[in-house]
């Protein structure tokens, strides 16, 4: 087998492709990694197909978090109906930003806790269609040195 430019036998890692689009069948070649519909990421090594441990989230929990991501920057996007409204509570330092559907049921709430002029906790809550049941909560706890952010811890529930 010829040597690659990095002087190792075989193909270069960057020449390999990871299939992220859901596939119907599991991988069958050594070293192949594939996302398989219904079972998640699968890896084939030394003639054995193996599953990869993921984030610990179910498919429905993952979908809810992906939908929440559509809000974190600035309101609802793909997959949501038009007509949502945004309400901001507070003045220079907002304490809550609330997105509601056109029927006034809650979609997403962002709650901000301030210490002086610095946000120290930011929490996002995504609601079910009833506007009451919380589907997911993401909470960031922020630390500072002076006015500069030095760390952030994220909790997802």
Q: Is 34 helix (H, G, I), strand (E, B) or coil?
A: strand
- Number of separate domains in the chain: 2
4 assigned to some structural domain: no
pTM over 0.75: no
Identify whether residues 147 and 93 lie together within a single domain: yes
- Dist CA 52 CA 8 (whole Å): 26
The pLDDT score that the predictor gives to residue 82 is 79
Is 30 within 8 Å of 44 (Cβ atoms)?
yes
Please count the other Cβ atoms lying within 10 Å of the Cβ belonging to residue 118. 15
So what's the pLDDT on residue 156?
85
Residues 81 and 131 in one domain: yes
Between CA 121 and CA 105, with CA 91 as vertex, the angle to 5 degrees is: 70
Residue in the block written with tokens 């301030």: 114
**Domain match, 69 and 144 both:** yes
Give mean pLDDT in consecutive 10-residue pieces for the chain, a chain of 157 residues.
56 55 73 74 72 61 66 64 88 93 91 96 92 91 94 90
Q: DSSP character for 70?
A: H
């Amino acid at each position: 087998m010829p040597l690659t430019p990095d002087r190792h036998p075989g193909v270069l890692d960057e020449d390999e492709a990871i299939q992220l689009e859901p596939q119907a069948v599991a991988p069958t070649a050594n070293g192949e990694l594939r996302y398989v519909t219904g079972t998640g990421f699968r890896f084939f090594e030394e003639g054995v197909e193996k599953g990869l441990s993921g984030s610990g989230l179910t498919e429905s929990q993952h979908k809810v978090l992906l939908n929440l991501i559509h809000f974190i920057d600035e309101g609802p996007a793909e997959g949501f109906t038009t007509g949502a409204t945004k309400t901001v509570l507070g003045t220079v330092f907002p304490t809550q930003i609330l997105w509601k559907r056109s029927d006034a049921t809650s979609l997403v709430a962002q709650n901000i806790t301030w210490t002086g002029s610095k946000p120290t906790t930011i929490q996002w809550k995504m609601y079910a269609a009833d506007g009451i049941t919380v589907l997911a909560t993401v909470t960031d706890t922020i630390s500072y040195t002076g006015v500069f952010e030095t760390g952030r811890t994220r909790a997802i529930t």
